[in-house]
């Protein structure tokens, strides 16, 4: 174990106090209870989180139509805006601190934020929008997004966040698919000192475009009581498997799941300042906002490049704003550690977070040692847009191994299974969930058959997430990349993450990606793509030799290609399907999930 909490630390955590209230001293017993008795667990969980209801639910869950279509907190009425904004507006609490790339900064109280959100709600109602209508949001990560989110929630409107870095085609497809009646956007983005047009690349659509917050409305925008199952978000996936899917998330589901994770895994405290490097178009943007504001917590928003104008921009902001909790993707750390600059002490940090993809051990250790100074646990979480939360996460009361995700999140019946759906340990299998959870998507927008086919058909009665995972001899869980990207080389299956980690052992490789291509003898052969570290010029043969050294001669790559940049989604995931199509000379297909299509 590389990190172990002290007994004093354990006793100070929210999860320990919650366990004690429920009569548990053992973490595994608590997790079993949360999986085996979901009705009682989620009932206790929403009480623990202090979620306020306009009308209390009469039933925790209803699976009468099957687990795929489970509904939650039947008969209840509530609103995200009430829980995350209105009830804190009578205090002096700071809702957010913000900074722009050019160095401007400021803060916004919950009181001022409510006034802005009421104006947004009133304006949207005056335009004739009714509960259930969709409102899209394609903006930089600036404070205006908070008033827009809460204004929409107050009016019962469903928010469609769209990554501001998308091209016109990707924006158009989401506007068209969602049927959005209004789009909030901004004149421009600023990146690396350059002004990039945003509003002018918005394609024509049947709705109305509003720049910024818009007007203030003619009257105060009250907060509507809404059914528990009322849609709060349409979140479009940014995965690696083709056409984006609109996933549907409810007011009660978002509050229960996002709040649970901030409270238990990230051990929310009143003095926290929470910063996750994200944008509003990635699930982690709304997750950060709602999960912290449920408790009246303070978030930090940054809109800009993480290494501009100096490589130490992130670390300087953490130091300057006394951030206590910082989350980031492994890809970002792999890029930042190549030229970290001079690191400030960052003594305010108490927890680190990560998500988005599997770690390589060297980058995980750099984050743990250089940023966390070996005193901050890395809460490495994994779930997805489809569940607006996590299947796996380490609780702060457990010891950690490098790259570990701890284990199943409380309330999530997560399992690793083989081809037949039987649980496996000590080797890779498929990550599934054997029971529904409150934040699972209520389908794919406009395509229920695709929802069933994507998530519930591989293993009947189980949610199939499409990831390779394993549980080691000590009960620690690990991810190994996407199962649908795995390669079968001479009868031996290997996930791309495992080969990429081997490539990263070469001292000249900064980033890596691998694909499988047809091979006459082996069935499938490995092709690797490497981004060199600054000042390095690694030889393809030497990288190939490193893979052989790490994994054995069976996995000797057919070819190693040195590239300047890898294509990625806005959440930092490498889009390997595009690398494969480019290498094989095929048409690239849908580029709407790619943040940097020029890399292809």
479 lies in a domain?
A: no
Task: Give the pLDDT confidence score for residue 83 in this predicted structure.
Answer: 98
Mark whether 451 and 574 lie in a shared domain.
no
**Count of structural domains, the chain:** 2
2 lies in a domain?
A: no
Mark whether 70 and 201 lie in a shared domain.
yes
Mark whether 465 and 551 lie in a shared domain.
no
Q: Which of 444, 471, 498 is the last residue of a domain?
A: 471
Mark whether 460 and 514 lie in a shared domain.
no
Per the structure block, which two tokens stand in for 330? Answer: 């492994």
Mark whether 296 and 362 lie in a shared domain.
yes
How far is the C-alpha of 19 from the C-alpha of 30, rounded, in Å?
7
How far is the C-alpha of 469 from the C-alpha of 542, rounded, in Å?
29
How far is the C-alpha of 530 from the C-alpha of 539, rounded, in Å?
10
Q: Are 412 and 30 in contact (CB under 8 A)?
A: no
Mark whether 443 and 503 lie in a shared domain.
no
How far is the C-alpha of 286 from the C-alpha of 149, rounded, in Å?
9
DSSP, collapsed to helix, strand or coil, labels residue 300 as: strand
569 lies in a domain?
A: yes
Q: What is the pLDDT along the chain (600 residues), one digit of tens a residue?
A: 999 999 999 999 999 999 999 999 999 999 999 999 999 999 999 999 999 999 999 999 999 999 999 999 999 999 999 999 999 999 999 999 999 999 999 999 999 999 999 999 999 999 999 999 999 999 999 999 999 999 999 999 999 999 888 778 778 889 999 999 999 999 999 989 999 899 998 989 999 999 998 765 556 779 999 999 999 999 998 544 446 789 999 999 999 999 999 999 999 999 999 999 999 988 999 999 999 999 999 999 999 999 999 999 999 999 999 999 999 988 889 889 888 888 999 999 999 999 978 888 999 999 999 999 999 999 999 998 999 999 999 999 999 999 999 999 999 999 999 999 999 999 999 999 999 999 999 999 999 999 999 999 999 999 999 889 999 999 999 998 878 777 878 767 677 887 898 899 999 999 999 999 988 777 789 999 999 999 999 999 999 999 988 888 888 999 999 999 999 887 777 888 899 999 999 988 777 778 888 888
**Please, which residues have CB within 8 angstroms of residue 375's CB and are 6 or more apart in sequence?**
none
377 lies in a domain?
A: yes
210 lies in a domain?
A: yes
Mark whether 490 and 443 lie in a shared domain.
no
H helices of 404-454, where? 448-451
* DSSP structural state of residue 548: H
Task: Give the pLDDT confidence score for residue 218 in this predicted structure.
Answer: 55
How far is the C-alpha of 72 from the C-alpha of 62, rounded, in Å?
6
547 lies in a domain?
A: yes
Mark whether 464 and 542 lie in a shared domain.
no
Backbone phi, psi, residue 261, to 5°: -70, -40
Mark whether 461 and 496 lie in a shared domain.
no
Mark whether 211 and 304 lie in a shared domain.
yes
> Could you identify the residue written with the tokens 């490497």?
530
Which DSSP string corresponds to 464-527? Answer: EEEEEEEE-TTS-EEEEEEGGG-EEETTEEE-HHHHHHHHTTSTTEEEEEEEEEEETTTEEEEE
DSSP, collapsed to helix, strand or coil, labels residue 485 as: helix
How far is the C-alpha of 594 from the C-alpha of 589, rounded, in Å?
11
345 lies in a domain?
A: yes
Across the beta sheet with 463-471, the strand order is: 414-417, 429-433, 463-471, 477-482
Number of Cβ within a 10 Å radius of residue 459: 18
Q: Which of 410, 436, 471 is the last residue of a domain?
A: 471
> Could you identify the residue written with the tokens 């009960």?
475
H helices of 321-454, where? 330-336, 361-366, 448-451
Task: Give the pLDDT confidence score for residue 519 in this predicted structure.
Answer: 83
170 lies in a domain?
A: yes
How far is the C-alpha of 564 from the C-alpha of 550, rounded, in Å?
24
How far are the Cα atoms of 207, 231, 448, 564 from residue 445, in angstroms, in the given order?
19, 11, 7, 37
Per the structure block, which two tokens stand in for 444? Answer: 């794919």
Mark whether 70 and 153 lie in a shared domain.
yes
DSSP, collapsed to helix, strand or coil, labels residue 241 as: coil
Task: Give the pLDDT confidence score for residue 34 in this predicted structure.
Answer: 98
Task: Give the pLDDT confidence score for residue 219 in this predicted structure.
Answer: 61
Q: Which of 441, 471, 501 is the last residue of a domain?
A: 471
Residue 56: give its domain's CATH number: 3.40.50.12780
How far is the C-alpha of 12 from the C-alpha of 420, rounded, in Å?
42
Task: Give the pLDDT confidence score for residue 19 in this predicted structure.
Answer: 98
Handedness of CA 372, 373, 375, 378 (dihedral sign): positive
User: Within a 13 Å sphere around the CA of 26, how many CA atoms are in the beta-carbon half?
Assistant: 4
**Please, which residues have CB within 8 angstroms of residue 184's CB and are 6 or more apart in sequence?**
135, 136, 137, 138, 139, 144, 148, 210, 212, 213, 214
- Helices vs strands, H then E, count in the chain: 17, 31
Mark whether 190 and 77 lie in a shared domain.
yes
Identify the CA nearest to 571 among candidates 370, 274, 354.
Answer: 354
Domain encompassing residue 375: 7-471
H helices of 72-204, where? 80-84, 110-126, 144-154, 168-178
Per the structure block, which two tokens stand in for 19? Answer: 């366990």
How far is the C-alpha of 599 from the C-alpha of 36, rounded, in Å?
46
Task: Give the pLDDT confidence score for residue 241 in this predicted structure.
Answer: 43
């Amino acid at each position: 174990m590389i990190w172990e909490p002290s007994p004093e630390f354990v006793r100070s955590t929210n999860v320990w106090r919650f366990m004690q209230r429920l009569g548990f001293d053992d973490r595994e017993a608590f997790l079993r209870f949360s999986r085996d008795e979901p009705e009682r667990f989620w009932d206790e969980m929403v009480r623990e989180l202090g979620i306020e209801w306009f009308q209390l639910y009469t039933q925790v869950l209803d699976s009468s139509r099957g687990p795929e279509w489970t509904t939650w907190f039947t008969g209840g009425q509530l609103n995200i805006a009430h829980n995350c904004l209105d009830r804190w507006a009578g205090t002096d609490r700071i809702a957010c601190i913000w900074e722009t790339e050019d160095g401007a900064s400021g803060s916004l109280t919950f009181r001022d934020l409510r006034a802005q959100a009421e104006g947004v709600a009133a304006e949207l109602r005056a335009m004739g929008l009714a509960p259930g209508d969709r409102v899209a949001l394609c903006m930089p990560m600036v404070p205006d997004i908070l008033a827009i989110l809460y204004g929409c929630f107050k009016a019962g409107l469903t928010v469609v966040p769209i990554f501001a870095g998308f091209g016109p085609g990707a924006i158009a497809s989401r506007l068209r698919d969602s049927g959005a009646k209004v789009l909030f956007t901004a004149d421009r983005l600023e990146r690396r000192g350059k002004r990039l047009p945003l509003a002018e690349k918005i394609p024509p659509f049947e709705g109305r475009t509003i720049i910024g917050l818009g007007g203030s409305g003619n009257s105060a925008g009250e907060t509507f009581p809404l059914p528990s199952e009322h849609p709060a978000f349409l979140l479009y996936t940014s995965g690696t498997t083709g056409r984006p899917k609109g996933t549907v998330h409810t007011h009660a589901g978002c509050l229960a799941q996002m709040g649970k994770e901030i409270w238990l895994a990230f051990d929310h405290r009143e003095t926290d300042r929470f910063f996750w490097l994200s944008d509003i178009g990635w699930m982690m943007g709304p997750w950060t906002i709602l999960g912290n504001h449920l408790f009246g917590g303070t978030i930090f928003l940054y809109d800009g490049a993480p290494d501009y104008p100096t490589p130490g921009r992130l670390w300087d902001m953490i130091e300057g704003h006394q951030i206590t909790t910082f989350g980031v993707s492994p890809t970002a750390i792999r890029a930042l550690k190549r030229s970290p600059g001079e690191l400030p002490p960052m003594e305010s940090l108490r927890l680190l977070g990560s998500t988005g993809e599997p770690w390589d051990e060297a980058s995980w250790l750099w984050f743990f040692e250089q940023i966390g100074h070996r005193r901050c646990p890395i809460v490495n979480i994994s779930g997805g847009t489809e569940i607006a939360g996590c299947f796996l996460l380490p609780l702060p009361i457990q010891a950690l191994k490098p790259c570990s995700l701890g284990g199943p999140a409380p309330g999530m019946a997560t399992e690793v299974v083989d081809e037949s759906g039987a649980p496996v340990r000590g080797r890779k299998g498929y990550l599934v969930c054997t029971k529904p959870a409150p934040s699972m998507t209520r389908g794919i927008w406009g395509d229920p058959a695709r929802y069933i086919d994507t998530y519930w058909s591989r293993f009947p009665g189980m949610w199939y997430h499409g990831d390779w995972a394993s549980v080691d001899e000590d009960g620690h869980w690990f991810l190994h990349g996407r199962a649908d990207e795995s390669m079968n080389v001479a009868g031996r299956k290997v996930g791309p993450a495992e080969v990429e980690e081997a490539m990263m052992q070469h001292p000249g490789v900064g980033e890596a990606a691998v694909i499988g291509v047809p091979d006459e003898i082996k069935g499938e052969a490995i092709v690797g793509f490497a981004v060199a570290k600054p000042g390095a010029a690694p030889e393809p043969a030497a990288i190939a030799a490193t893979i052989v050294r790490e994994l054995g001669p069976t996995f000797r790559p057919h070819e190693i290609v040195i590239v300047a940049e890898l294509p990625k989604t806005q959440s930092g995931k490498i889009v390997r399907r595009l690398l494969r199509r480019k290498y094989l000379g095929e048409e690239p297909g849908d580029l709407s999930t790619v943040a940097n299509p020029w890399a292809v």
